[in-house]
A = this chain, B = another copy of it.
Amino acid sequence: MSDTLNQKVKDLLPAMIRCRRDLHKYAESGWTEFRTASLVAARLKELGYSLTTGAAAVKKESMMGAPAPNVLKAHQERAVSQGADPALVAGMEGGLTGLWADLPCGGPGPRFALRFDMDANDAVETDAPGHVPNKGGFASINKGVMHACAHDGHVAIGLAVAELLAELKDSLKGSIRLIFQPAEEGVRGAAPMVDAGCVREVDFILGVHMGVKADKKGLLICGARKFLATSKWDVRIQGKSSHAGSDPHMGRNALLAACAAALNLHAISRHGEGPTRITVGKLEAGQGRNVIPPNAFMALETRGATTELNDYMTSEAARIIKAAAEMWGCTYAVSTVGGTKSGESSEAMVDEICSLARAMPAFSDVRGIEDFTGSEDFAHMMTEVQRQGGLGTYIQVGTILKAGHHNDHFDFDEDDLAPAAELLVRVVRHYLGGKK
């Protein structure tokens, strides 16, 4: 069967590439993946999966950093104009673009989940003529949105895997769940899907990413630790304006409140037990030169090497923001626009995957758990599965990158989609008791 599988994947590669290029051309940012999610949903239904979508798949109250309703509305129209099924798009109104697809196998057994992220980045794709999407005519036509983190590839892998597993299902025991997640950028999409139940009763979960810092074909990293827990906050402070010359004492200076907050936030004590971060990345305050500023806005983020360390940072930050606003007689509001927990791959699962991968000629350098030191909200799903008693890991597939992730020249080697898809199928087959 191995050889059969390898051949089947090879046969699917052209379709995977077509899919990836189509998604690349119609790149969609977080919570606006109406076209992408519609295509995914339609295909999975075709393959026999039963779908969970819309409000059942994304808990509306838990959504973070969603665009304004009118912006979402405009994106729905855009998606339809770019070929999406109007009925499917209508079912995702309000940015409910996440979905999962279930497939029961040939008998009782564990539930194995695979997660694929769908959103593109806020970036203007380069117009350099040598950039492959330009040469191939599939550069993003949605100005300012670009797949610069390979999520287009992830979805293409996901749909190929869906097809291959559908063929195999009768030989397996248990069930398969494919999770297509929106808004991974800004770590906003995992939590509302978890809250909606996407990993409930899941025994194993696997996430995959194309491209590693060590830019190398044949490299596979089978597990990750030190995902940074992080929180993304928008802070708004409301004061009162007054004339700076005649009545300065009548104002409530929101600008000074924000400045006091920013300075003191950065002075939050380092933590004795591990790395933390805090950054007020943006601050905008005031209306006119001669008006006591009645308004201020701050975009900030905290991070921690563990969930506990990030919790320390957010708890300190919340106290400081409150006090800074009150110090200047202002009111304030904090909205969480993103965030994820820390996490660490399950060692047992990493070891199994390493063995499976080493048997594949495509992977010449197979490694175990390595430090991630970035944030990925897959950690949120994985941690929840582990909390329930299950196992999970996150694998990174080496490929030659034209430029780093999030760069406007980013591109990866499409041939590497095939071994990634093959490995995922092998792993599922292994865990659901299929032949070795």
A contacts, CB < 8 Å to B: 228, 230, 232, 244-251, 253, 255-256, 258-260, 262-264, 266-267, 269-273, 275-277, 279-293, 299-301, 303, 312, 319-320, 322-324, 326-329, 373-375
Contact = CB atoms under 8 A, between A and B. Distances in A.
A249 B304 CA distance: 13
Q: What is the oligomeric copy number?
A: 4
Contact of A279 (B281, B282, B290): B290
B228 A245 contact: yes
A341 B271 CA distance: 22
Contact of A282 (B271, B281, B285): B285
Q: What DSSP secondary structure best describes chain A's contact surface?
A: mixed
Contact of A249 (B271, B329, B373): B271
Contact of A267 (B246, B256, B286, B329): B256
Contacts of A300: 289
Contact of A301 (B290, B319, B329): B290
Contacts of A256: 262-264, 266-267
Contacts of A260: 259-260, 263-264
Nearest to A281: B289
Contact of A277 (B245, B250, B279, B285): B245
A283 B282 contact: no
A299 B258 CA distance: 16
Nearest to A269: B248
A229 to B, nearest CB: 11
23 contacts: A247-B272, A248-B270, A248-B272, A249-B270, A249-B272, A253-B269, A255-B280, A256-B263, A259-B259, A259-B262, A259-B263, A260-B260, A260-B264, A264-B267, A279-B289, A279-B291, A281-B289, A282-B288, A283-B285, A319-B327, A319-B329, A323-B323, A324-B327
